[in-house]
Amino acid sequence: MPIPERLSRLEPLWGVWRIKGEIGRGSFGRVYELYREEFADRYVSALKWIALPKDKDEIDELRSERMSDGEIRSYYGGFIKSLNSEIRLMSELGGNSHIVNYLDHLIIERKDEIGWDILIRMELLKPLDKLMSEKTLSNNDVAVIGAHICQALDVCGRHGIIHRDIKPANIFISPDGNYKLGDFGVARTMEKTLNNMSRKGTPLYMAPEVYRCEPTDLTADIYSLGLVLYQLLNGNRVPFLPIDTAPSYEQREAALERRIKGDPLPPPVHADKNISRIILKACAYKRGDRYKNALEMKRDLERFLDQSAPSSPNKGLRIGIAATLVVCVAFWLASRMMKTPVSPEPAQSALPSPSVIVVEPTPESIIQPSPENAEVQTDLTLDEIIDMQQRLMELGWLDASEPSGKYDAATSHAVIDMKRHTNEILNTTFAIDSGVDEELLEILKSPLALEKPESMTQATPTSTPTPTPTTPA
């Protein structure tokens, strides 16, 4: 599509930027790709152009109402002030990883006629509706999109903003995989929205109360986001539309009417039952049945992502480390139940049973068995225990230069003393991904890992009785 002459006359924008072509249209204007070249480098950006009025017909309509040119200019001046406030809002929200970054703007009043050109320069990103046409998104992909936009909505909520036009065309993906919320052209502060509700936005994704021009709150944006996620897992169709055939105009109107009047939404056809529950809660007809805020919905989406990836390599590593630590601490407890260190004995002809590893002390050093100090056993072989210990050394959680265990292959005895290293291991942050798995924390904080059995502190080792001297007759 050719660039409007009115816009091309303003090139080069900001003295350096030129227009490559139109890439989209928003609620108030059009979006273009900008570029500039410096030496061998080429830089790109996005331009949102808002023209007020949109065309001369608007001016003629106002003149038909017997408004003078001065009154018309004052009328549009109110729009300019409102848009300038929203531009300032965009600059305040800038820097958030899930909101499109504002870079610069110009407001230019025309000299030869009544009108203004508003130019807003932003980062150039791919809109979600184009991504939808290129690939099929999985349940996890959709959960990531939802979690990222929930983060953006949380920022909006802290500024008292209802976006009111959340749709695939206003959600963007950055080259590094972050999803971002953009186009605040119809956003207003909450105070203005509550006092003067208007039907701004796209009806296809509107909450029922917004469509009916009723007072609303931030849950309206949660509803719209839920409908976007619903569409992504429903064959790119909103609720009540046929999946396998192209919907007619009448079917689209009937689907919108059913949703607005509150018919229960069927689950998205390609959604896992857990993410389906999250989406349907976000799209609840009654505001009180929806998520109270965006962070609440974000937590459920992140929990879904955690539960849907049980075979994650990092999670498996954390669980493996936990199991290894428990085994090592168990052997430390076994060694502490002995009175004296174990001395090497002559080579045995056979190893103990591979399912049980027993440390064999001298007979007089054994603490007699009792319910409080049962024999420590494991289903792992001795070689597996040594291999686990070696892996801990390779990961840096055991000091390889001062090994905490001894292994005598000739006698098949193992004495693993974890006393000195246990606190170092348990106090390690385990900075894998964003932190420690909850189940790993539970294992590491268990009494077995942190405390000695009570019997160990109370048991008194047996001693050889001293012979009583006798007097010769």
Q: In the numeric block, which tokens belong to residue 211?
A: 């469509």
Q: Which of 156, 261, 313, 271 is nearest to 219 (CA)?
A: 156
Q: Please list the residues that pair with 41 across neighbouring strands.
A: 38
- Cα separation, 106 vs 435, in Å, equals 45
Cα(171)–Cα(31) distance, rounded to whole angstroms? 14
Q: Which two tokens stand for residue 121?
A: 């320069």
Q: Is 34 helix (H, G, I), strand (E, B) or coil?
A: strand
Q: Nearest to residue 7, comparing CAs of 84, 112, 116?
A: 116
Q: Is 215 helix (H, G, I), strand (E, B) or coil?
A: coil
- Identify the three-state secondary structure at position 33: strand
CB half-sphere exposure, 54, CA atoms < 13 A: 8
Residues in the chain: 473
SS3 letters for 170-186? HEEECCCCCEEECCCCC
Q: Give residue 174's Cα distance to chain centre.
A: 15
- 162: number of Cβ within 10 Å: 28
Token digits of residue 377: 């056993």
The one-letter amino acid code at 334 reads A
Catalytic residue among 117, 165, 217, 437: 165
Q: Which two tokens stand for residue 443?
A: 């294992």
Give the residue carrying structure tokens 């480390």: 321
Strands of the 179-181 sheet, one edge to the other: 126-127, 171-173, 179-181
Asked about 437 being catalytic, the answer comes back as no
105 φ, ψ to 5°? -155, 160
Q: What are phi and psi of 159, to 5 degrees?
A: -100, 5
What 3-state class would DSSP assign to 59?
Answer: helix
Active site residues: 165
